[in-house]
Structure 1
């Protein structure tokens, strides 16, 4: 195990990985546990049961079993966090790995602050950033390019939009971070024409909870990722850029494979936007470069640790999770350049994505300036020689329901686009 002192970590301060909802196969939490645990930081996590991949990591001191659905009252969820705090020795750095947790922590900052180390962020800002509609409004307010979006309030407004819009368009759940028993759309959904849109809208009720967005065709676009950690002054403590090579469902979902590509222009755009809105903490942003007008357009701003953050590391050994721990414990984040040529692969998801791209005549993503030689190695989401159990547990949990789930995603992806 490498000593965390080489980058200045305070290994007396533990970290707590927090997510809300029943989805045990979450590789972002495993990455956070490994990132700090390998350097000697005591790591803890809230898990659905004792046989999740995160719970079986050798770098986890203890799993606090706390099943949630994401539909509980906020007060109950806060009580759960406070119960975890009582089991820790002193304040811990919190690492939300989904939007529900990030919004909850921000909105209950005052109650949680005596027990956890938290970035000083406006309590209402993470909710706005996680909302598709509110994020677009923030982009318009601050002059940041984004796909043109509208949020119809009634079925009549959907009809008006359908009569005038240029199709195809993209439909997204307006508050995508909220877990619902019956979301308006299953995910980012490509809508081909007015008839299809109106047929969908009949199931949305009196107040459609959707955003209808300009469609950016994959053949004219490049998908970029920015992961960063910002201090209370709005300045980046670490900022990294990369490209999404493949996603699942194709061009419409989570990252299946990605690689690092240094992009100073995009790093600057991201940092400027964060400073304008007054955000602090870890951010995971998705941008799409539109070749038609030569602009980067902001698609998503996740105010938390991104699942694929471990693809990024600086020459001083810093990633965004390590930068957050350093920042919140009053340490200096050592400066360093982004390590180039690193790849990140989510094994089981990328296997399906490769087949999908080939089977549908789609090439995987090749940006113009992708380095020809990749010397930075490959980081796998699950498999690690020094921590083998998370991969074994993930494989076991995927064995039976996984094939059926991937088949359902494949079928559902035929009408989706991100």
Structure 2
């Protein structure tokens, strides 16, 4: 089945009445989402819950950052910036006791928070629906090195990969493994959870390395900072941001793949901390690519949400799978905007216990956190530029923070400031505009 029917209204002001009544099983415990984190992806999840069921989410985080501050659709529970994972789990257990008679659904949207939840499942599951895969599989698929090995075994294309193991980097006789991948190349942590608390000058999410001297300097910095996980070195697949693709999927508690949605990335963020995060995408159904994601999910016994990063290799048109995130992804609102609210699939499966007819989304919308003129300065391909203009003129555009159901003066001011801040960031970190607006 495809996601079709009435045109979605991303800025809808209220939930569907029948769905709202159904969310709590028409008389059973009312639904209460509890979401960990405070970024734009967390707000998008709260928005999707609000659109579908009219519920206010509870957001638990160290601080009420801009995306979740002063919102009418969520309540912030603050832990403080020094809270440990154990403090978080303790607070979640206490919070559950403060919410008697509610059906609590726990979500996290960063790798390290997912890992905290999964590792403490025994304490949390008596109180919450915990819709994540088990710890053994999480460890396997979250590691980019192991992910590449699994994909190769399943006939799924990945970039050529070399693994650098830092487990012995504290020993006097440790030396990094020689790397025989051609320059320039890409280097990144195999597990973002291992990299989360490592700090050193010039730290990035992803490094583009041009010379052996640069790579040696990175190895020295990582070892000196106490990093003891694994780093992967991969061949650089040519092509700009527009070669990237995103896939979001949901596998239900029965092991059925009930939701798939893919998108064509137009532009990524280019700040050091956000490098690689899509800033603008057009939803696009590509069955050949989705079939490979399906093969991975069904072969590994995956359950819950998954988000794949894929790049089209312009040399041969193949889909090179980079990683799978064990969560729905920061830019998850593109799925809701295209007509298939992921929270419905989760709630009907885990709260209502109902099998859902599988959906593959094929509606085209433009998801963007950027001003349209800024976006078009960076989209070179004439066909893509034309598609962007067409979607903008048709109103088939979604920004996760622009929600009429949460449209206070303070929120509108924040969204405007966030858009202007995108202009500043691109001028600073990616200053070469290629076109000039409409």
> What is the TM-score when the length of structure 1 is the normalising length?
0.81
Matches within 5 A, 1:157-172: 158=176, 160-161=178-179, 164-172=180-188
Q: How does 1:8-407 map to 2 (within 5 A)?
A: 9-11=22-24, 12-19=30-37, 24=38, 26-38=39-51, 39-49=53-63, 52-60=66-74, 62-68=75-81, 73-89=84-100, 90-119=102-131, 121-153=133-165, 158=176, 160-161=178-179, 164-177=180-193, 178-182=195-199, 185-205=203-223, 209-218=230-239, 222-249=243-270, 252-313=275-336, 317-329=339-351, 330-333=353-356, 336=359, 338-347=361-370, 357=378, 363=380, 374=391, 377-389=396-408, 390-393=411-414
Contact 1:171 1:185 (C-alpha < 8 Å) held by counterparts: no
| Contact 2:48-2:336 at 8 Å conserved across structures | no
> Once the two structures are superposed, what CA deviation does each residue of 1:156-208 show, in whole Å capped at 9, x if it has no partner?
764622xx331111011232234224158412111112222223322222757
Displacement of 1:403 in angstroms is 8.1
Q: Secondary structure at the match of 2:105?
A: strand
CA distance in 2, matches of 1:220, 1:311: 17
Is the contact made by 1:247 and 1:256 (CA closer than 8 Å) also made in structure 2? yes
Query: What SS does the corresponding residue of 1:227 show, helix, strand or coil?
Result: strand
- Give the drift of 1:230: 0.7
The 10-residue stretch of structure 1 (32-41 or 110-119) with the greater mean CA deviation from structure 2: 32-41
SS at 1:301 equivalent:
strand
> Secondary structure of the residue that 2:354 maps to in structure 1?
coil
- SS of 1:152's partner is strand
Q: Is the CA contact (8 Å cut-off) linking 1:221 and 1:291 kept in structure 2?
A: no
Asked if 1 retains the 8 angstrom alpha-carbon contact of 2:61 and 2:76, the reply is yes
Deviation, structure 1 residue 36? 1.3
The CA deviation string for residues 213-241 of structure 1, in whole angstroms up to 9 with x for no partner, is 11101159821111111112332111111
Deviation per residue, 1:318-344 (Å, 9 max, x gap): 322221122111134355552522111
Give the Cα separation in 1 of the matches to 2:365 and 2:35: 25
Match of 1:323, SS state, is helix
CA gap of 1:337–1:50, structure 2 versus 1, over 3 A, is: closer
Find the residue that maps to 2:208 and give its secondary structure.
strand
Q: Distance in 1 between matches of 2:319 and 2:245?
A: 9
Match of 1:415 in 2: none
Instruction: Work out the number of aligned pairs and report it.
Output: 393
Q: What is the TM-score with the length of structure 2 in the denominator?
A: 0.78
Deviates more, 1:268-277 or 1:293-302: 293-302
Task: Please tell me whether the aligned partners of residues 261 and 360 of structure 2 are also in contact (alpha carbons under 8 angstroms).
Answer: no
CA 1:351–1:234 in 2, change beyond 3 Å: closer, same or farther?
A: farther
Q: Residues of 1 paired with 2:380 and 2:103: CA distance?
A: 48
The separation in 2 between residues aligned to 1:340 and 1:192, in whole angstroms, is: 40
